[in-house]
Amino acid sequence: MKTTEIRIIVYEYQSIDELSGDDQNLLQNARRITATAYAPYSGFHVGAAVLLENGTIVTGNNQENSAYPSGLCAERVAMFYANANYPEASVKAIAISAAKNAVLVNEPVKPCGSCRQALAEAEVRFGTPIRIILDGQDSIMVLNGVESLLPLSFSKKDL
């Protein structure tokens, strides 16, 4: 038998002011777009902002549907819009924020499994890691690459 250990590096900040100017701007966009999420069932408003290599920022938010699971998460809304409208631009970073009752959640919000897989696909598609910024009142977590969120991910090499 062989044992393999997987280590994940997470950079944790106590305030948005500790981030670089670009990361602050991206996170502010994610926070802003939470306000227009369509979340009448959960009341959990999520916003995502994607920075493309060409400098464009694309935002998206969660869109719930009474015929669950027909809705879509903020991360995939933003990523799919970016890929559809800027198919040649790689994704440099994504910031994800969430609010409940119009108040930023305490713990950094994390993407669901489907969103992690969509982010992994974007990394494979463009061959470049995506910087991931997860927002919360208590801290902001930054990860360099989807492998930190989804180790041993499934990709086209597995087909």
Rounded CA separation 127/110 (Å): 23
C-alpha of 141 from chain center: 11
CB 34 within 8 A of CB 97: yes
Q: What is the CA radius of gyration of the chain?
A: 15
Q: Helices marked H in 35-140 — which ranges? A: 74-85, 113-126
Annotated catalytic residue, options 75, 107, 121, 123: 75
- Give the closest residue to 12 by CA, choosing from 140, 148, 138: 140
The answer to whether 75 is a known catalytic residue is yes
- Catalytic residue numbers read 75
